[in-house]
Chain A
Amino acid sequence: MARINQPSVTPPPPDSDYFACLGVPRRLQFDPEDLTERFHEQSRRVHPDFFQMKSAREQALSLEASALLNRAYRTLRDPIERMAYLIRLETGRQEIAAKAPDDLLAEIFELQEALEAYREGSAGSEKEAAGRQLTEEQARLRERLARLEEELQQLSAQWDDAAKNDSTAPERGALLAAMQERLAARKYFMNTLDDITLTLEGRSDAKDRRH
């Protein structure tokens, strides 16, 4: 039997931000277990399963609230998505586009030529040389990517300190800009690495997200 006097649920307004939705401060480093617990707790409050016997209005609200909660959890549980979302929230900027770091431009030019050579070339020494070059480049990029991830972690810690210590807007702005630049570079490295992998596997035009 349906219990009566169930505490009536007021779902968060649909425009509320993901941090508020899960009841966590705008920080970048937190315990994933704690986040999951909050997600489960909120799910028990707003999930449509518990509103099936209620009015159409309450059902619609619960659907909205539940969808928002699920999006919030999905975004915040991933460190990179979380950071990109924070930047968007704090600066109002939209999607962060992939962008190569300035100091890499010469290298990129060579890399593009090697990719071209490998794709166009028939089997032979020229193709083999391009393949070797690509494999080396792959290793170099992976190294740079690892360094980037470390820097991003440091920036996360700095952001959390700054937030705790009520630092000034310009200080925060500088941190956000630094994060954004590295996220753009990270995206660029990931794309390029994908490109190299697909090219080496000879599947440059048969991309399949499943694999």
Chain B
Amino acid sequence: MPKIVGIDLGTTNSLIAVMEGGGPRVIPGPGGQRLLPSIVSFAEGRITVGREAKRHWATHPSEVVYSVKRFMGRGLADLQAELPFFPYRLLEEPPGVVRMAVGGRAYTPPEISAMILRELKGWAQADLGEPVSRAVITVPAYFNDSQRQATKDAGRIAGLEVLRIVNEPTAASLAYGLQKGRDGIIAVYDLGGGTFDISILKLKAGIFEVLATNGDTHLGGDDMDQRLAHWLAGQFNAASSLDADGWQQLRLAAEAAKCALSDKDEVSVEVALPGDGTPRRLRLSRAQLEALLLPVVERTLEPCRLALRDAGVKADQVNEVVLVGGMTRMPLIRRKVEELFGRPPHVELNPDEVVALGAAVQADILSGGTRDLLLLDVNPLSLGIETLGGVMSVLIPRNTTIPTSAKEYFTTSVDGQRTVDMHVLQGERELVADNRSLARFQLTGIDPMPAGLPKIEVTFMIDANGILNVGARELRSGKEQSIEVKPSYGLTEGEVTSMVEASYVHAKEDIARRSLIEARNEARMVLHSTEKALADADGGGWLMEDERRVIDAAVAELRGAAGGDDPNEIRARIKRLDEATTHLAELLLSRTIQKVADEKR
């Protein structure tokens, strides 16, 4: 059976893993790298992903997309505060869908994420030597319905059937449990590049039951980098004169300094700001950094307390604390977590890899590989509908074990009414306006009846992915009711389908582009070796003038073709040059043999 892979689609880095011989394994990329930077570059007219894209980051900031995860399932209004930091232009089209204007097009976040997924899929296919078409993808536990849906869409666009969306901290607990497996209460503290999650789980005889989860989908290492970049700008007296490029340089310097200070007590920060002759320098100590970032770290503590309360667990009842996410290497975070839970956290698992490994374990469970382990996860946010007076009425409270469902009954208020509208929300606040709008549903095709007579039963089902599915039935007739869905954020079914189709077209373009590059490379090599051979031949006076003219003409033709865009033309010219130089090659070969024979004598 084809393998199902586990993918950690991260804000900063992404990984792909697979279960093999009873254990999960991270699949490396072509250079042996295990982390794929979640960066996509459109610089120099081509799309690159990962390390190469990262190299363009400093040189072509407005053509490089990073941290795309922060945009998944969000609208522009959600992102106002950080817009100035993104060097590319953002637009919203249609309402509720952010697009990035890069590479001459406006891409949605799922399309960009799909490029990252496609790269990982390529790694896996090269490593496993078989096609990969099914995956488990992880998301922050605190992702709402739109963000989960956007992740699933990205998978589809990348040509992956997403069998399951798994929460990152839960996946991490699975990998942890497999290695250390002791029954008890586990807290998973997951601070990544852009998101924070805390999950409290009960592990008992192979069942991982999530008791409560909390977090902030807009809190992570990025926020620390931004804060530090701001501070650096102030220190350099440059805040007012910086453009997007300048901010980019500062962010990169901030990120590097932050990471280095996890091991060192002091670092030197050096930034070459655009328009400056000499680079700016300053010394930064770990104590300074910690004082600066403490407010960000403290923002993670309140969600921890709320999760403990919802789980009905006291901090000292937690048996193990597991750290996930690159940010948890920071000594300040380790200290704060230890303070809160009163015990040192586990640090022996690689915080970058544990989520992907857990995703591979979950993929194995889904493929029927093991029945010993089972995850019972929860929905992170309460789900409800709008009722009279703009109040949200909760149907499924947060931290309910999923899958779960709730029923609600609707009727008509006017004689002969054919449709009924519903507004579905997610969040913990009383008023509709303070919660997140998920979608507007319209029940259509209701048989005309006097007001109040139809009784429509609507079932809200949250599946094991944490994604909402809605079904409706008119109870008198027993007839299934059709529902029209208008998602408030994210893409409609039709839009995703057309993106899936477009990705095939792009895949063809990609193949054509690769073929051209390969043909040009080959042409360059052939031209180079021909030039060398001709130089030798000229020195020895081996070639007839006629022959020399034919070769020169073939060289000129190939040079011309290599400057064009047609790989077939280039290949044809390479062949012509090959033919023209057959005699020359034979001559060279016999000369070489002669030379070797002479030397031996």
For the complex, give the distance between the alpha carbons of A49 and B369 in Å.
11
Residue from B205, B306, B405, B464 within 8 A of A71 (CB atoms): B405
Segment at the interface with A among B332-340, B371-379, B529-537: B371-379
Contacting residues, chain A, for B405 (C-beta < 8 A):
64, 67-68, 71
Query: Would you list which residues of chain B between 368 and 409 have a CB under 8 Å from chain A?
Result: 368-369, 371, 374-376, 382, 394, 400-405
Contacting residues, chain B, for A44 (C-beta < 8 A):
207, 371, 374
For the complex, give the distance between the alpha carbons of A119 and B369 in Å.
62
User: Whose C-beta in chain A lies nearest to the C-beta of B375?
Assistant: A49
Q: Are B463 and A209 in contact (CB under 8 A)?
A: no
- B102 interface residue (CB < 8 Å to A): no
In whole Å, how far is A21's beta carbon from the nearest beta carbon of chain B?
13
Can you list 28 residue pairs at the A/B interface with Cβ under 8 Å?
A2-B367, A2-B368, A6-B368, A40-B204, A40-B209, A40-B374, A43-B207, A44-B207, A44-B374, A47-B464, A49-B362, A49-B366, A50-B368, A52-B163, A52-B366, A52-B368, A53-B366, A53-B367, A53-B368, A63-B463, A66-B403, A67-B404, A67-B461, A70-B402, A71-B404, A74-B400, A74-B404, A208-B429
Residue from B164, B369, B401, B429 within 8 A of A1 (CB atoms): B369
- A18 interface residue (CB < 8 Å to B): no
- B566 interface residue (CB < 8 Å to A): no
Contacting residues, chain A, for B369 (C-beta < 8 A):
1-2
In whole Å, how far is A77's beta carbon from the nearest beta carbon of chain B?
10
User: Whose C-beta in chain B lies nearest to the C-beta of A68?
Assistant: B405
- B298 interface residue (CB < 8 Å to A): no
Q: Are B428 and A208 in contact (CB under 8 A)?
A: yes
Residue from A1, A48, A66 within 8 A of B1 (CB atoms): A1
For the complex, give the distance between the alpha carbons of A71 and B460 in Å.
13
In whole Å, how far is A64's beta carbon from the nearest beta carbon of chain B?
8
Chain B residues packing against A (C-beta within 8 Å): 1, 163-164, 204-205, 207, 209, 306, 362, 365-369, 371, 374-376, 382, 394, 400-405, 428-430, 461, 463-464
Known A-B contacts A43-B207, A53-B367, A63-B461; the reply to A208 vs B430 at CB < 8 A is yes
- A118 interface residue (CB < 8 Å to B): no
- A3 interface residue (CB < 8 Å to B): yes
Q: Are A70 and B365 in contact (CB under 8 A)?
A: no
For the complex, give the distance between the alpha carbons of A1 and B164 in Å.
19
- A189 interface residue (CB < 8 Å to B): no
Q: Mark A26-55, 1 if CB is under 8 A from B, else 0.
A: 000000000010001001100111101100
Main SS class of interface, A: helix
User: Whose C-beta in chain A lies nearest to the C-beta of B373?
Assistant: A49
Known A-B contacts A1-B369, A53-B368; the reply to A48 vs B207 at CB < 8 A is no
Q: Are A49 and B374 in contact (CB under 8 A)?
A: yes
For the complex, give the distance between the alpha carbons of A38 and B356 in Å.
31
Contacting residues, chain B, for A1 (C-beta < 8 A):
1, 368-369
In whole Å, how far is A177's beta carbon from the nearest beta carbon of chain B?
27
Q: Are A73 and B401 in contact (CB under 8 A)?
A: yes
For the complex, give the distance between the alpha carbons of A52 and B136 in Å.
12
- A164 interface residue (CB < 8 Å to B): no
Contacting residues, chain A, for B464 (C-beta < 8 A):
47-49, 63, 66
In whole Å, how far is B449's beta carbon from the nearest beta carbon of chain A?
23
Q: Are A209 and B382 in contact (CB under 8 A)?
A: yes
Q: Are B400 and A210 in contact (CB under 8 A)?
A: no
Chain A residue total in the interface (Cβ 8 A):
27
Q: Are B428 and A3 in contact (CB under 8 A)?
A: no
Q: Are B428 and A43 in contact (CB under 8 A)?
A: no
For the complex, give the distance between the alpha carbons of A49 and B367 in Å.
9
Q: Mark A183-211, 1 if CB is under 8 A from B, else 0.
A: 00000000000000000000000011110
Contacting residues, chain A, for B365 (C-beta < 8 A):
49-50
Q: Are B401 and A70 in contact (CB under 8 A)?
A: yes
The 8 closest A-B pairs by CB, nearest first: A2-B368, A210-B428, A52-B366, A70-B401, A67-B405, A207-B430, A67-B403, A40-B207
Contacting residues, chain A, for B205 (C-beta < 8 A):
40
For the complex, give the distance between the alpha carbons of A67 and B468 in Å.
13
Contacting residues, chain A, for B204 (C-beta < 8 A):
36, 40
Q: Are B367 and A209 in contact (CB under 8 A)?
A: no
For the complex, give the distance between the alpha carbons of A3 and B463 in Å.
25
For the complex, give the distance between the alpha carbons of A47 and B367 in Å.
14
For the complex, give the distance between the alpha carbons of A3 and B364 in Å.
12
Contacting residues, chain A, for B368 (C-beta < 8 A):
1-3, 6, 50, 52-53
Contacting residues, chain B, for A71 (C-beta < 8 A):
404-405
In whole Å, how far is B272's beta carbon from the nearest beta carbon of chain A?
46
For the complex, give the distance between the alpha carbons of A109 and B415 in Å.
42
User: Whose C-beta in chain B lies nearest to the C-beta of A44?
Assistant: B374
Contacting residues, chain B, for A3 (C-beta < 8 A):
368, 371
For the complex, give the distance between the alpha carbons of A48 and B405 in Å.
14
User: Whose C-beta in chain A lies nearest to the C-beta of B366?
Assistant: A52
Query: Would you list which residues of chain A between 64 and 94 have a CB under 8 Å from chain B?
Result: 64, 66-68, 70-71, 73-74
Q: Are B163 and A43 in contact (CB under 8 A)?
A: no
Known A-B contacts A1-B1, A49-B374, A63-B463; the reply to A210 vs B401 at CB < 8 A is no
Known A-B contacts A1-B1, A49-B366, A209-B428; the reply to A70 vs B371 at CB < 8 A is no
Contacting residues, chain A, for B367 (C-beta < 8 A):
2, 52-53
In whole Å, how far is B160's beta carbon from the nearest beta carbon of chain A?
15
In whole Å, how far is B90's beta carbon from the nearest beta carbon of chain A?
30
User: Whose C-beta in chain A lies nearest to the C-beta of B405?
Assistant: A67
For the complex, give the distance between the alpha carbons of A2 and B205 in Å.
22
In whole Å, how far is A73's beta carbon from the nearest beta carbon of chain B?
7
Q: Are B207 and A63 in contact (CB under 8 A)?
A: no
For the complex, give the distance between the alpha carbons of A6 and B368 in Å.
10
A-B contacts besides A67-B404, A209-B382, 14 pairs, CB < 8 Å: A1-B368, A3-B371, A36-B204, A40-B207, A40-B209, A47-B374, A48-B464, A50-B365, A52-B368, A53-B368, A64-B405, A66-B464, A67-B461, A210-B428
Q: Are A70 and B403 in contact (CB under 8 A)?
A: yes
Residue from A49, A66, A210 within 8 A of B306 (CB atoms): A210
Contacting residues, chain A, for B429 (C-beta < 8 A):
208-210
For the complex, give the distance between the alpha carbons of A3 and B368 in Å.
7
